[in-house]
Structure 1
């Protein structure tokens, strides 16, 4: 299994982190992982909302001044079947 792609959106503000992670997730197969690094306060609510709407799994890890978001593409949809 390959390492997940990392999208570094630190230093950007809403809506850039969500746009970047959404673009990176396009075309990934269900079960693929993607990591977003962001320090925008709005991303704390925007990224989970985007993941829920798209059926992706999401975990967050506070890294001090920024947050690591690990997205699992299609994880929610896969679990519901």
Structure 2
């Protein structure tokens, strides 16, 4: 089972432009300062870490950390 902390740890490793410690779980990441390049990097890091393909239409719905956790646990 993937947790919020697991996803935040992956975000740290993806070297996103916003400090991971400042991220809120239920607010869209774009609203918290991540840009489209950050989001692409995050999706690639998640695919690599969890060995789960994320199609573009799925990625567009993964807006918050909570969304990502739900997706990875489905």
TM-score (norm 1): 0.33
Higher relative contact order (CA closer than 8 Å, sequence separation 6+): 2
Kindly indicate which of the two structures has a greater share of residues assigned to helix: 2
Kindly indicate which of the two structures has a greater share of residues assigned to strand: 1
TM-score (norm 2): 0.35
